A and B are shown apart, each in its own frame.
Chain A
Amino acid sequence: MLSRSAERLYWLARYLERTENIARLVSVHMNLLLDLPKGVEMGWRQLILINASKEEFYEKNNVANERNITRFLLADASYPGSLFSSLSAARENIRTSRELLPDEAWEQVNEMYLFAKNNLETVADRRHRVIFLNEILKGCQRFTGLLSGYMSHNHPYRFILLGRNIERADMTSRILDLASLLLSESRSDEMRQYETILWMNVLKALNALLMYRQQMRSRVKGDDVLNFLLLDTSLPRSVGCCIAEMSNCIGRLPNSDKLPLKLVELQTYVQAIDTRQTTQQQLRGILDGLQNKLGELHGQIADNWFLSAAGE
């Protein structure tokens, strides 16, 4: 497999995962706001904080209201972190790696892109936004499904898994970051009342509510949710599970000598997190550290296999 193709498939998967995650995040956030009473201090602003895109947002917008923020996160083609930019980048990557994937994979991404492009304006109002986000989520799921059903689980497939899981681990850590942010900011009793609802929405954002209930057999509590989403090894979107998946892929790819060590280090870091002993503030620091470590892992994957890093 060409180094260049490996790189493109890896990024294809990252961008598609990002597309799906943004869609999920916005849609869950909308639901959460619908549940909270008027006057509770949480709003849309937090969404741009976890994506580390505050500055870029305020360059283009004066007010952090629902309309501006959803347009920025979903439809702004000039903001590289938006859903539409991610989807466009995914499409560009798959367009240049069509020879490795089943026909339907390209068509699926292309269709989704055309749908998004033709419906960007509709995200302004809530009702149409719900439809838009559902379509995107379904499209991403179809893509994942058809690859798992149609594609040999070969090296190209492993690079897709690798990209997907590193992006997924990153997003899960950002969503947990958001939750801690909300909790540390909102000290009011009124907000405390709604803590359970908040954590339920965090679980929903990662499609993990049902699995949480089955596994933990308890009511939804912050510590348990954090534990579950960081350490569980069978929930697809938990950080622990993403690391295990990557470990599995890397073990089967050629010339991966240096990488397993890096993964063990990452695993150890995650397992050492004791959610019962940390304050919200400390937790935010730990999650930041986790995101940095994922960044380092990405650098090593690129050094190891990709053309751009190989140098001439």
Chain B
Amino acid sequence: MKSIWKNYKIESAYDELMYSEFQSRPVSHSLCQYLNSLRKEDIDKRKIAAELAIMEMGITFTVYSDEGNIDRAWPFDIIPRIIDAREWRIIEIGLKQRLTALNCFINDVYSEQAFLKEGKMPAEIINSSKNFRKECIGMKPRYNVWANICGTDLVRDKDGIMYVLEDNLRVPSGVSYMLENRVITKRVFPELFQGIDIQPIDDYPTHLHDMLSSIAPHQNGQVTCVVLTPGIYNSAYFEHAYLAQQMGAQLVEGKDLVVNDDDFVYMRTIEGLEKVDVIYRRIDDDFLDPEVFRKDSTLGVPGLMRAWKAGNVALANAPGAGVADDKVVYAYVPEMIRYYLNEEPILPNVPTYLCSNKDDLAYVLEHLAELVVKPANESGGYGMLVGPHATAKEIENFRQIIQKDPRNYIAQPTLAISTAPTLCKDRLEPRHIDLRPFILQGENTFVTAGGLTRVALRKGSLVVNSSQGGGSKDTWIINMEGS
């Protein structure tokens, strides 16, 4: 019998499940034992079953192309990624700590600006930030929380330490795929859930709903929450519909909402206008309200900012929260934790060079071939340079771009981000992965048990974004005590 582990070569990166081709880590003993009990044909059958389930459940994401928008089936690897619950407990505390500090910071930026005044961060960074919204100055969202939903990207370097790569505070996506991945894994490997103590994740929509209700402007009587989507052509439309359905909330588009003279938000229903208390908006700030932001936006709701500032509707995330979702601001998060919480950061940042800083810039230009350079404000893995994988021409090109607009670029050492066994054609091979847990903050703070593990399906690739050849895996937090 040919082993699916044959030639499983762990290179310089840390492998989440294996020490070597022949030895599994303690967290993955049971999984590996089980996989070894299956024949290759059986594993292939499960893979096909998973693909079929994805098609039938219609789990898709939209890819924009010249031929129009295509709905692609969600690429999924059936081999789960596993984390020991003892390690996860610490990560969870670290994530809560981080989001708490970030929210203190955002709140401060839109009021006292003490952090800037005390010289903890150059004011220039905020003043030049695209995501700093002057319109938000003086606002006090409930519990002083601006970023209610956060997706934090974590990666493990070869030293085995989990680093925070970025904090997504605008409209982070992916949580529906996390939930659906589990549904599929339960269908495909039901036997595994008997023997292993895997923490459940499907309470996320309940927590989301509770959090949204907790931030409603009026706490008397029933709260009406809606999910505001840009519409069916958005790449995350599947997720918007999924979350609305799971929460039993209305999924609305901009044209379904109207702000009346009384500065309240209403939706157009078959019974006439009905008041809306909380909007989980999945539209970027820029498009939210054509009266205030982009005038040409047809996705938003005219007057929405008026209603929000009057305290008549809650928006999650609050407009302006994106000011902390900036890779330059990111570099200051450890300092925020010390400043606002008087604690030491539990989760480390990746060392970051700010090109706006002269010394850093000189270093970056010198070492472009070794570094990863990212624009401060993009998401989705666009517009970045991975030095070790780039051609000389690409590097020169980037040198020009950075020098033109240094404020907008940061650089980090190229991490050897960890790998996990991934089912390739006829055997398992290591592929690079990251992890995006989701954190909710309102009256309370909640962290998902695990998160969405994204995997770079192309051999050697470090880019995990689904728009660029990435896939995903189910993520298990397992309790090892007693086993």
Contact = CB atoms under 8 A, between A and B. Distances in A.
B392 interface: no
B244 A99 contact: yes
A267 interface: no
Given A96-B232, A305-B270, A307-B255, A103 B245 contact: yes
Contacts of A6: 270
A103 B202 CA distance: 15
SS of A interface (majority): helix
Contacts of B272: 254-255
A101 B272 CA distance: 22
7 contacts: A1-B269, A2-B250, A2-B267, A3-B256, A4-B268, A95-B232, A107-B57
Contacts of B271: 1, 254-255
A98 B57 CA distance: 12
Contacts of A99: 227, 241, 244-245, 248-251
A174 to B, nearest CB: 29
A3 B269 contact: yes
A253 interface: yes
A52 interface: no
Given A98-B242, A106-B58, A255-B270, 20 more contacts: A1-B269, A2-B250, A2-B252, A2-B268, A3-B256, A3-B270, A4-B255, A4-B256, A4-B268, A5-B250, A95-B232, A96-B241, A98-B245, A98-B251, A99-B227, A99-B244, A103-B245, A307-B255, A307-B268, A312-B255
Contact of B268 (A3, A95, A110, A254): A3
A204 interface: no
B401 interface: no
A286 B450 CA distance: 66
Contacts of A312: 255
The 9 closest A-B pairs by CB, nearest first: A99-B244, A99-B245, A254-B271, A110-B58, A99-B251, A98-B241, A305-B270, A3-B268, A111-B56
B196 interface: no
Contacts of B57: 107, 110
Interface in A133-174: 155
A76 B165 CA distance: 50
Contacts of B161: none
A310 interface: yes
B77 interface: no
A155 B269 CA distance: 11
Interface in A72-104: 95-96, 98-101, 103
Contacts of B267: 2
A15 B267 CA distance: 26
Nearest to B250: A2
B325 interface: no
Interface residues of A, number: 26
A255 to B, nearest CB: 7
Contact of A114 (B56, B227, B252, B255): B56
Interface in A1-29: 1-6
B253 interface: yes
A1 B270 contact: yes
Interface string A96-128: 101111010011001100100000000000000
Contacts of B268: 2-4, 307, 310
Contacts of A98: 241-242, 244-245, 251
Contact of A2 (B55, B56, B269): B269
Interface in B246-266: 248-253, 255-256
A1 B256 CA distance: 11
A105 to B, nearest CB: 10
B48 to A, nearest CB: 15
Contacts of B241: 95-96, 98-99
Contacts of A101: 245
Interface in B223-249: 227, 232, 241-242, 244-245, 248-249
Given A2-B256, A307-B256, A155 B56 contact: no
B58 A4 contact: no
B99 to A, nearest CB: 27
A95 B238 CA distance: 8
Of B57, B232, B270, most A-chain CB atoms within 10 Å: B270
Interface in A214-260: 253-255
Contacts of A95: 58, 232, 241
Contacts of A4: 253, 255-256, 268
A98 B243 CA distance: 10
Of B58, B227, B271, B272, most A-chain CB atoms within 10 Å: B58
B270 A254 contact: yes
Nearest to A254: B271
A155 to B, nearest CB: 7
